[in-house]
Chain A
């Protein structure tokens, strides 16, 4: 298959002595929303953070195995994680805009990566990113206002705008809606569906409804194992593994 964006083989993650991810194999497709579901502590966020090497910042965390993006080993010693993270953007669970203006929040990534040659370029990137994140109409008149002054849903969309401003190819989302109300959640979900046109989106979620609504592929994690991975509709209607079935029907988790 040529459509594979991320390919992981035999991935093991340890937090000190704790074996958090056990031998996970997964192939994530381009221009697709892939959802990771599973009970708390099952390792789905840990695995997500392996994909842009955010786990590097945790001293006791060790990652083994082979993770390839576009067929390049991202744990190769030659890979600079900073370059990797420009290619693989991330949106976090709690909206975490910088305590700066809306404009500076979005412009920060392009600035440090040298994506804009001049102010006009930068303005254009900021506008495009905010438009893509469906925040432009609300924010265009107050780009100088602090990003922290926005509502929770707007803050999360600002974080999405910030993530896509660096022109990534993959967007990782770690429970992006868990701190949002249902209306803001609906807006972000709608946005995720649009983002699929340009990016490969990997989303970790606690809400199975959300996974069913936004994703095309779903992976179910349990106790550090990838139990089942497949087309979302099939996982939710006709799972192969009894553990998936139990989780989906609410018996475990």
Chain B
């Protein structure tokens, strides 16, 4: 039977048993590592989404408002125009409340306090944009106060209202009554993406508009500077430069630059672009320049890697038929390396989009209420003050009102969605243009 020196194959020998056990253990290590990573990701996403999802819906007060031409004229000539418009809103609200017998025992002041301080400005903008509305009665949607919004999102209760000087329990009772009437509704918060930042007292009006635009400008600067410079540098180093100790030094330093903490680039930007070149601080131009410096090593490294991955036989083939060095690179090598370069660039941009630290140093942490123009005679290209998405998150998390915690999480979700879109685009482009040979 099993007379062979190996013994029976039907019986696992102790040595093999030990090896199999070790293999099983190693698999368990791997699986548990992946499980821990996945759990961490899930916890992160759940906490952000549970905190921030509500920021995409906002509570609005909806009731008929009447205004005539004389009132508009009076309000426009007032010193505090939005204050005058607020008065008109309050009158209209009072009319609505008494008509529907909603006021009852609640003080008028409390009822007025339910409207956001931002409402006057919103109303004024509406009137200026629609002058034909004068003299008619129309339905107006106005932001409810942040506390009332919080009440409908579970942040504010009758108990907390007792301790809070910004909201009274009576206002919550009124909020319930208005909701019953259909005058207090939650709807999708488009303003979150279009409004600029707002002050501490009116979180309900705070939006990401300026931050998104600022980030977009910076990405434009990064793309138009880092991509051509990075690709040109990589092509030169990879295809043209003779290998010598100089290129070695450059190579090592590019790798080192990729590992430099991003805040160092902020200090550099502050010293060079703002203090020396005297560009405007807080401007997307300076932010973009700093992020360009930061992104360059990433783009150079990925571009060189994709150039290296093109088989030398393609270069030989091109040179063999008498193409010049440049023709062989631009006609053959570069098109084949393009998907890799594109992917690296998008990943670099995504990294730059989420970068906060260097932007704090160049003043992009400022409170900016005006949309920055892409070009203005005073500030030049991308020279007007702006903020950026990650900095806006940082800003909001520092504010005391819990409504800003919700906003910050909402901003993080927005940022993550942008990053996901960019990464998906990178994967899509790579799959689409990848050539096999």
A96 adjacent to B243 (CB under 8 Å): no
Of the candidate stretches A22-30, A106-114, A119-127, A230-238, the one touching chain B is A106-114
A98 to B331 Cα, complex, angstroms = 10
B332 within 8 A of A: yes
Residues of B with C-beta under 8 A to A90: 316, 320
B313 adjacent to A96 (CB under 8 Å): yes
Which residues of chain A (67-117) have a CB below 8 Å from chain B? 82-83, 85-86, 89-92, 94, 96-99, 108-109, 112-113
A112 to B316 Cα, complex, angstroms = 16
Within the complex, the shortest CB–CB distance from B390 to chain A, in Å, comes to 40
B316 adjacent to A54 (CB under 8 Å): yes
A166 adjacent to B313 (CB under 8 Å): no
B317 adjacent to A166 (CB under 8 Å): no
A85 adjacent to B243 (CB under 8 Å): no
A59 adjacent to B242 (CB under 8 Å): yes
B321 adjacent to A96 (CB under 8 Å): no
Query: Given contacts A98-B314, A98-B332, A148-B437, is CB(A89)–CB(B321) below 8 Å?
Result: yes
B327 within 8 A of A: yes
A159 within 8 A of B: yes
B323 within 8 A of A: yes
* Dominant secondary structure of chain B at its interface with chain A: helix
A99 to B243 Cα, complex, angstroms = 28
Q: What 1/0 mask marks residues of chain B from 303 to 322 whose CB sits below 8 Å from any chain A CB?
A: 00000000101111111111
A192 to B139 Cα, complex, angstroms = 89
A92 adjacent to B321 (CB under 8 Å): no
A99 adjacent to B435 (CB under 8 Å): yes
B160 within 8 A of A: no
A108 adjacent to B313 (CB under 8 Å): no
Query: Given contacts A98-B332, A99-B437, A148-B437, is CB(A112)–CB(B313) below 8 Å?
Result: no
Complex partner residue of B322 from A94, A96, A112, A148, CB under 8 angstroms:
A112
Complex partner residue of A54 from B320, B332, B435, B436, CB under 8 angstroms:
B320
A92 to B315 Cα, complex, angstroms = 12
A148 to B317 Cα, complex, angstroms = 13
A86 to B318 Cα, complex, angstroms = 11
A58 to B332 Cα, complex, angstroms = 19
Query: Given contacts A94-B313, A99-B336, A108-B331, is CB(A83)–CB(B243) below 8 Å?
Result: no
Within the complex, the shortest CB–CB distance from B250 to chain A, in Å, comes to 16
Query: Given contacts A96-B314, A99-B435, is CB(A57)–CB(B327) below 8 Å?
Result: no
Q: What 1/0 mask marks residues of chain A from 43 to 66 whose CB sits below 8 Å from any chain B CB?
A: 000000000101001010000000
How many chain B residues touch A (CB < 8 A): the figure is 22
Q: What 1/0 mask marks residues of chain A from 123 to 166 whose CB sits below 8 Å from any chain B CB?
A: 00000000000000000000000001000000000010011011
B12 within 8 A of A: no
Which residues of chain A (160-205) have a CB below 8 Å from chain B? 162-163, 165-166
B435 adjacent to A83 (CB under 8 Å): no
Within the complex, the shortest CB–CB distance from B377 to chain A, in Å, comes to 48
B314 adjacent to A113 (CB under 8 Å): no
User: What residue of chain A has the Cβ atom nearest to residue B327's Cβ?
Assistant: A112
B68 within 8 A of A: no
Residues of B with C-beta under 8 A to A85: 319-322
A59 to B436 Cα, complex, angstroms = 28
B317 adjacent to A159 (CB under 8 Å): yes
User: What residue of chain A has the Cβ atom nearest to residue B242's Cβ?
Assistant: A59
A96 to B331 Cα, complex, angstroms = 15
A148 to B336 Cα, complex, angstroms = 14
Complex partner residue of A82 from B314, B322, B332, CB under 8 angstroms:
B322
Which residues of chain B (267-318) have a CB below 8 Å from chain A? 311, 313-318
Query: Given contacts A59-B243, A112-B327, is CB(A86)–CB(B322) below 8 Å?
Result: yes
B376 within 8 A of A: no
Within the complex, the shortest CB–CB distance from B244 to chain A, in Å, comes to 9
Within the complex, the shortest CB–CB distance from A131 to chain B, in Å, comes to 18
B324 within 8 A of A: yes
A109 adjacent to B322 (CB under 8 Å): yes
B317 adjacent to A54 (CB under 8 Å): no
Residue among B316, B322, B331, B436 with the highest chain A CB neighbour number at 10 A:
B322
Residue among A52, A92, A96, A113 with the highest chain B CB neighbour number at 10 A:
A96
A109 adjacent to B321 (CB under 8 Å): yes
Query: Given contacts A59-B243, A148-B437, is CB(A98)–CB(B322) below 8 Å?
Result: no
A98 to B316 Cα, complex, angstroms = 11
* 4 extra A-B contacts, CB within 8 A, seeds A57-B316, A92-B313: A86-B321, A113-B322, A162-B321, A165-B321
- 5 A-B contacts, Cβ less than 8 Å apart? A57-B316, A57-B319, A59-B242, A91-B320, A98-B332
Spell out B's residues near A (CB within 8 Å): 242-243, 311, 313-324, 327, 331-332, 336, 435-437
